[in-house]
Structure 1
Amino acid sequence: MRTPPDRRAFLRTGGLAALALGAQGTPALGATGITGRDATGATGTTGRGSVSAPRPADWRALAGGLEGKLVRPGDAAYDGARKLFNPAFDAVRPSGVAYCANPSDVAECVGFARRLNLPLAVRSGGHSYAGWSTGTGLVLDVSRMSKVSHASGRATVGAGAKLIDVYDRLAASGVSIPAGTCATVGVSGLALGGGIGVVSRKYGLTCDVMESVQIVTADGRLLTCDANHNADLYWASRGGGGGNLGVAVSFGFRTHPTREVTVFFLHWPWSRAVRVLRAWQAWGPSAPDAMWSGMHLSRDGGTDVEVVGLYLGGRAGCERLLDRLADAAGSPSSSFVRQTSYRQAMLTMAGCGSLSVSQCHLGGSLPGQTRGGRLSRDTFKAKSHMAYRPLSEAGAKALVAQVARPGEHTVLLDALGGAVSRVRPEATAFPHRTALYSVQYYAHRSGAAGWARTAHAAMRPHFGDHAYVNYIDPELGGWRAAYYGGNAARLAQIKAARDPGRLFRLPQGI
């Protein structure tokens, strides 16, 4: 069996060994960040007149006012500091990259951009699908604010923490939070956009366990937002996406205890794709809450039909549930089912099953990287739908036909339902509570954009116009309704009250 791709980045760590379970413009609500599903950074102008070029003395003053580090063009670290996860945005050259060490640094950068009408972008993991975690002005990087601690069932997590580090550090306390699989995604963008993850059917979205968030607002204030303080910002921060109301610097999350779990990877021949798809969409979203699964229809190095998942329990219970899928889909041509620790399962789901936590990073010496990091960047294009009803036979055939077209691409379907569906759509800013599963069209290398556009358009009659803000799509028409549904109007009201001057702006901003 081949190693499953990292579910957003297609990070390849090689062969069955990776499955060895042996002995992841403008200041965003948070910076970027299932899966290691990522987030929206932000770029734009302050909206108060023309953009002015800061003088050298201005940059020197900013650098002197930071506990962190400001990297400018010509500095040795600049070429690495300016790059995002997706090399498609390598041509963008910021005027400066500020690695903020604390909320005071963030406030300093916000004030700098406000005074000088300078475009500002916020970055944590640098995974923004639209490249909105970089820009030509100042990039505010929160990667240094990555501390993770746990006490009395609650985790405090810095906005710059990468998902694999969140899992690893909480594992020491025998707890975790529901989050995605892409190892290098920043927790902030994931949580602010909702946070679909591998245990969401049991414990909810990442935003559902967010008990508080600290945000630096447009006027430079640091606000604690929870159910009793700044409740409007707290509501908007749970699914409203980044780039609209401020810069998140820290989160408080409710944790759940961990135990051994079971991971699985099942494959069928391409000729069975339609049957497996229809069987999975009936089984996955309605399975017991302890069972999460995703389906991959792939034409990347050959066609493949895969169901991947994680069961919060032992192997025997998992296999009983998988037998129900096989009864409808037919027996898989290959299968891998293994009980393991929760921590090791998260490494495996990130495509890092044979790597250490340190190796499960991008390589380098900048914040968020490790010198022994083995993961690589990927040039990709992606779009999304949220499936509110099952695909018909004709719809399933249409999706399989799109995947079969020439190119290197995958459609990833992630089961929802369970705890996700038991929250009212208006209770948080994330509106897609009744969706059965998310759909991601992910393509890389030559022809990626053309395939993604065609596949998305072909499936629109079947899926409708719902989309996931964490898979931000700069080409999407009607994006307000697609991302936010009935919550769009309330988000706009909060924006008008909290940022009337529209300091925080991005192309798809509230």
Structure 2
Amino acid sequence: MQSRRTILRAGAGLALTATAVGVGTLPVFADATGSGTGWAGLAARIQGDIVLPVDPGYNAAKELQIAAFDAVHPQAIAYPETPQDVQALVNYARNNGISVRVRSGGHNFNGWSTGEGLVIDTSRLNHATVGTSTVKIGPGLQSIDALHALAPYNKQVIAGTCPTVAPGGFISGGGIGFQTRKFGLGSDRLRSAQIVLADGRLIRASETSYSDLFWALRGSGGGNFGVVTEFEVAPIDQPRMVFFSTMWAWDKAEQVFAAWQTWQLNASVNLGSALIYNLPDAAPGNVPMVIITGGYHGPESEAQAALAQLTSLVGAQPTSTFASDLPYADAMKTAYGCGDLTQEQCHREGTGAEAHLHRTAFQRDAYRMFNQPFTPTQISTVLSTLDSNRVAGQRRVVHCMAVGGNANNVSPTATAYVHRQANFVIGYVGQLDAPTPESEAAASAFVQTGADVLNPISNGAYVNFPGSSLPDWATQYYGDNYLRLKKVKKAYDPNNFFRHPRSIGSLGQ
């Protein structure tokens, strides 16, 4: 099956426990003085662990999904297990002038969840508590683990298309996936958030309490206002899903793009899908794969009728078609590319004894949002950019996701997520398995060429898919909401304690 994870690796292969998620067995090392102060004193005050550079597990602890960020060397990586742990960590860092980055799943394309100071890793805050009308989940609860934890209760939450993404970043940035058009964004279903602020206070933000912060937490992106320790969300009622995956001939690539746009724009909100042009190795002569995959949140008969309509719009038969009506958790597991893996195996290598999923060595991205469908000329330009100036060893992808639907039945100012007219998120991705300075430069140049194609016709950018280069990022991510976000930042983090290269209020923006 072709998930976003497997597609972006292109042929590299395909019980909730603290030790399986978050390097739960790493020891804590004392500071060099042995005085009981410093990191050792902090470690004694928290239930979780602190990993220092002297720890033999340090190199594994600082890993993100993209291995290029292994070059960053934090002073410490902390694994809090309670909100009080987070408070102690924030207070210590603030009082000692240590910068902080917040990490949940570690998937940020630009490495915003690591830095030279203290990394607060929330992977052990991975609980799922089912209430009468809401579900409370930890920021480190990875999507694959949420599926298993919630399935016995016949409840699920909005998630993306990668099994190891966690709510800490996903919900904070908006949260899109195959469910978006029917159930809205992940952040639209947020009912409250427990968060540790820069001054160390632990508060709960909602529509009726700290409402300005609650507004900002729904679409601003992670790492801006504090460390969220719990999300309370409205679950979705979706007992089954039809997962489908179709492949098409490369000589029909332009027809498929045009047909997919029309198909999605006129489809039931039950339909969520992605269109992927995947070139596993950009050596001359290799033929890109053309894939349309997704989930239908309705009867299988309707899904089959929709797929038949797609074939009619393309005007050609797919080279392969797969569709299966499955219990929702099984369907999403299949969509994640983990249909043949256990829950424990469906985690990033290095995070558990059985973890199987590969990391990405090097990656550059250029994603933008679009309100209108592409013209035939624009489609031709997008695809010729993918196919031109081939470089052996590069993995090239044009990745297109359908959004809109019920997510657009919300005012652009109702939450920090402003893109309520967008129907598509489309981007170029360049990856390398064995990067060298020369190949990195070439892959970056490919993605920049793609960005230059998309920029003039786009309607903004999605903060959870941050581009490697992005002009006027504040306007691209947040539009007119940015001024309000800066006011919230000043109210709750006046000294800009929580920051990264594109955080709210950074670099004078």
TM-score normalised by L of structure 2: 0.88
Higher mean Cα deviation, 304-313 or 446-455?
446-455
Note the C-alpha offset of 1:475. 2.3
Note the C-alpha offset of 1:437. 0.8
Note the C-alpha offset of 1:258. 2.6
CA distance in 2, matches of 1:223, 1:69: 23
Note the C-alpha offset of 1:92. 1.1
> Are 2:308 and 1:328 equivalent residues in the alignment?
no
Note the C-alpha offset of 1:77. 1.6
**Partner of residue 446 from structure 2, selected from 447, 451, 461:** 451
Per-residue CA deviation, residues 163-182 of structure 1 (Å, 9 max, x unaligned), is 11112211111111121021
Note the C-alpha offset of 1:5. 4.6
> Are 2:418 and 1:419 equivalent residues in the alignment?
no
Task: Give secondary structure in 1 for the equivalent of 2:309.
Answer: helix
Task: Give secondary structure in 1 for the equivalent of 2:464.
Answer: helix
**Partner of residue 303 from structure 1, selected from 285, 288, 295:** 288
CA distance in 2, matches of 1:416, 1:189: 18
Residue matched to 1:33: none
Kindly report which structure 2 residues correspond to 1:45-56, keeping only aligned pairs within 5 A, or say none: none
Per-residue CA deviation, residues 327-374 of structure 1 (Å, 9 max, x unaligned), is 11122122111111111111111111111111101234xxxx332111
1:149 alignment partner AA: T
**Partner of residue 380 from structure 2, selected from 392, 397, 400:** 397
Kindly report which structure 2 residues correspond to 1:165-204, keeping only aligned pairs within 5 A, or say none: 165-204=145-184
Per-residue CA deviation, residues 73-113 of structure 1 (Å, 9 max, x unaligned), is 11122111011111011111111111111111111111111
Q: 1:109 to 1:4 in 2, by over 3 A?
A: closer
Contact 1:7–1:182 under 8 Å retained in 2: no
Residue matched to 2:352: 370
Residue matched to 1:480: 474
Residue matched to 2:344: 358
**Partner of residue 220 from structure 1, selected from 174, 179, 200:** 200
Contact 2:99–2:497 under 8 Å retained in 1: no
Contact 2:75–2:117 under 8 Å retained in 1: yes
Contact 1:347–1:357 under 8 Å retained in 2: no
TM-score normalised by L of structure 1: 0.88
Q: 1:249 to 1:358 in 2, by over 3 A?
A: same
Residue matched to 1:470: 464
Per-residue CA deviation, residues 142-185 of structure 1 (Å, 9 max, x unaligned), is 11110112121311101111111112211111111121021111
Residue matched to 1:494: 488
Note the C-alpha offset of 1:448. 2.6
Contact 2:3–2:162 under 8 Å retained in 1: no
**Partner of residue 440 from structure 1, selected from 404, 415, 427:** 427
CA distance in 2, matches of 1:113, 1:126: 20
CA distance in 2, matches of 1:125, 1:12: 23
Per-residue CA deviation, residues 203-224 of structure 1 (Å, 9 max, x unaligned), is 1110011111011001100110
Contact 2:101–2:498 under 8 Å retained in 1: no
> Are 2:303 and 1:318 equivalent residues in the alignment?
yes
Kindly report which structure 2 residues correspond to 1:49-448, keeping only aligned pairs within 5 A, or say none: 57-301=37-281, 302-330=287-315, 331-364=317-350, 369-379=351-361, 380-405=363-388, 406=390, 407-445=394-432, 446=439, 447-448=442-443
Q: 1:79 to 1:196 in 2, by over 3 A?
A: same
Contact 1:7–1:412 under 8 Å retained in 2: no
Per-residue CA deviation, residues 103-137 of structure 1 (Å, 9 max, x unaligned), is 11111111111111112111111111111111111
Note the C-alpha offset of 1:13. 7.2
Structure 2 unmatched runs, 5+ = 15-30, 282-286, 433-438, 505-509
CA distance in 1, matches of 2:366, 2:493: 29
Contact 2:245–2:321 under 8 Å retained in 1: yes
Per-residue CA deviation, residues 225-276 of structure 1 (Å, 9 max, x unaligned), is 1110110111000001112111111000101223222111111111111111
Higher mean Cα deviation, 308-317 or 430-439?
308-317
Note the C-alpha offset of 1:314. 2.9
Percent identity over the alignment is 34
Residue matched to 1:30: none
Q: 1:4 to 1:203 in 2, by over 3 A?
A: closer
Structure 1 unmatched runs, 5+ = 19-52
Note the C-alpha offset of 1:11. 7.5
Note the C-alpha offset of 1:54. 10
1:435 alignment partner AA: A
Note the C-alpha offset of 1:55. 7.4
**Partner of residue 501 from structure 2, selected from 498, 507, 510:** 507
Contact 1:264–1:337 under 8 Å retained in 2: yes
State the 4+ residue runs in structure 1 displaced beyond 3 angstroms: 2-5, 7-14, 53-57
Task: Give secondary structure in 2 for the equivalent of 1:192.
Answer: coil
1:450 alignment partner AA: A
Task: Give secondary structure in 1 for the equivalent of 2:71.
Answer: coil
Per-residue CA deviation, residues 301-336 of structure 1 (Å, 9 max, x unaligned), is 440111101111232210111122111112212211
Contact 1:11–1:376 under 8 Å retained in 2: no
CA distance in 2, matches of 1:54, 1:253: 43
Q: 1:79 to 1:136 in 2, by over 3 A?
A: same
Contact 2:100–2:119 under 8 Å retained in 1: yes
Note the C-alpha offset of 1:298. 1.6
2:332 alignment partner AA: M
1:376 alignment partner AA: H
Structure with the bigger RCO (C-alpha within 8 Å, sep 6+) is 1
Residue matched to 2:435: none
Contact 2:8–2:397 under 8 Å retained in 1: no
Q: 1:12 to 1:104 in 2, by over 3 A?
A: farther
Residue matched to 1:39: none
RMSD between aligned alpha carbons?
1.8
Contact 2:11–2:280 under 8 Å retained in 1: no
CA distance in 1, matches of 2:267, 2:108: 31
2:356 alignment partner AA: R
CA distance in 2, matches of 1:55, 1:493: 42
CA distance in 1, matches of 2:12, 2:107: 19
